[in-house]
Chains A and B, each alone.
Chain A
């Protein structure tokens, strides 16, 4: 089975992100594979093992995004492809989906796996848009994946509990954390990844032109710093502390 894992590179979650001169700045924080996409790679590798398949990791981004692809290779992906083009500076979710859909069709896949969302934009809608564009069924927020011949059954983790859904392959699947803790890159994996030649595809390799940007960012704002001064509640006994704390909470008028 041919599996594609779609990943993105983002600033590390510990980064101090700020708006500076209309641009996002994150200081000297490292760029890493989107943490949600580590679960996508993990899910893809589980299916590779279950079906004796292959995993191709793909990523849209600048040359430096090869590092995120190397992480996927080190975890165990068989190959990686970077999609990079100077015209792709302002991609919105649908633009990204159009580029990914073209790449998926060029590579050919039985299963396309995404993380639930990215850490930077956080919209979480590119998987469904990619599914709509390719015409593949969308199985969102899967906590487990089971392939049987040409069909796939997933357990979706929704607000109301778990929903079991079945579809034919090829399918687009987004995964959540219940899929399993992403494996650490092995020593052999890291060595293999460091030597890997990662091909770079431009839009002309995909036979498409740059998608127009429908959602535009006009302004970035840093949220006002919250001034929280903690008030410690003390007392002689748990009952006394609880009594005082309950009165304080009631006085905040949030109940």
Chain B
């Protein structure tokens, strides 16, 4: 059984679930890693350390920035040559497009966001969440090759064998670009909630600190956002001490407290970290569907009747502006930071 594994990276920073996909491929037989774009050679070296038997690299200038059409054409051409049984991707914004387009080229289709994948003879049976994880379905793909994207953190990450290496095969870019990347906006910092093991989140409640006095000259809305930013600073402090990511409820995003890319829930990201700490989040169903599969959920809220407590393992009814900094201090001390 031969599996192509697409290693997804942004300017050399690899989406960790790519390595999880490599681990799954090894379970079925030989694993061929595929790396496109800038800094592809460094990524290729890591791919060997995570178990790739072979690595194919396309670092053509045409592939410098991710571009759906050229990336898909290059991948489809490579798949036609190598004739794998299976192509695996981590599930990211880029790979959903790329897998989708290559499936069109190769006359097959994609099973997305898998939480389980088993071989069955020369076929595969996959498990994936549907209806916002309210249900799961077992699916099969009758096309060849079988194409699948794997949900981050649903499969074990293989151990890294430092120093393990191999021969890197070069391939050329194929296809024609249909769009041009004009640039990146630096206004927003990177947020990768899908891969985060720990998420500390804030909701509307983070803007309600009565003890703060906003700077003079702000109107009511600006003052509210200023208060919320002070609240999110406390959320961020705890996230930093725990090495986690910062999440937010839709209410906080809609109120303009924090960018959309932080949103956990129905119209944001569905996450399943080991630890989720919800601060000032009441727990609307649209938020709960996005985080209820976290291993341990902690809720801090001033309202003892907030629905978030029904989903939580630990709860604190109290003033988050006092509890949160105290919790950050307690972890600093206990974790030796």
Residues of chain A having any CB pair with chain B under 8 Å? 11, 13-14, 16-19, 24, 35-36, 92-94, 97, 119-129, 131-133, 136-141, 143, 153, 155-168, 171, 176-178, 181, 214-223, 226, 228, 230-234, 238-239, 241-243, 245-250, 252, 254-255
Is the C-beta of B303 less than 8 angstroms from some C-beta in chain A?
no
Number of A-B contacts (CB under 8 A): 265
Inter-subunit contact A231/B182 (CB<8 Å): no
Contact of B260 among A24, A157, A163 (CB under 8 A): A157
Is the C-beta of B42 less than 8 angstroms from some C-beta in chain A?
no
Q: Which residues of B contact A140 (CB under 8 A)?
A: 68, 93, 96-97
Could you list 16 further interchain pairs (A-B, Cβ under 8 angstroms) beyond the known A13-B266, A217-B138, A230-B313?
A: A13-B289, A93-B109, A121-B130, A122-B130, A125-B96, A125-B103, A128-B68, A128-B97, A164-B184, A165-B179, A220-B138, A238-B322, A243-B326, A246-B330, A246-B334, A252-B275
Inter-subunit contact B181/A125 (CB<8 Å): no
Cα of A133 to Cα of B109 in the assembled complex, Å:
13
Cα of A209 to Cα of B329 in the assembled complex, Å:
65
Residues of B in contact with A, size category: 35 or more
Contact of A164 among B182, B263, B268 (CB under 8 A): B182
Q: Which residues of A contact B112 (CB under 8 A)?
A: 122-125
Inter-subunit contact A158/B93 (CB<8 Å): yes
- The A contact surface, by secondary structure, is mixed
- The B contact surface, by secondary structure, is mixed
Flag B293-337 by CB within 8 Å of A: 1 or 0 each. 001111100000000011111111111001101110111001100
Residues of chain B having any CB pair with chain A under 8 Å? 10, 15, 68-69, 72, 92-94, 96-97, 99-101, 103-105, 108-113, 125, 127, 129-143, 178-192, 194, 197-198, 242, 253-254, 260-261, 263, 266-268, 274-275, 285-286, 289, 292, 295-299, 309-319, 322-323, 325-327, 329-331, 334-335
Task: Say yes or no: A165-B101 contact (C-beta < 8 A), given A214-B109, A242-B327.
Answer: no
Task: Say yes or no: A214-B142 contact (C-beta < 8 A), given A159-B93, A254-B296.
Answer: yes
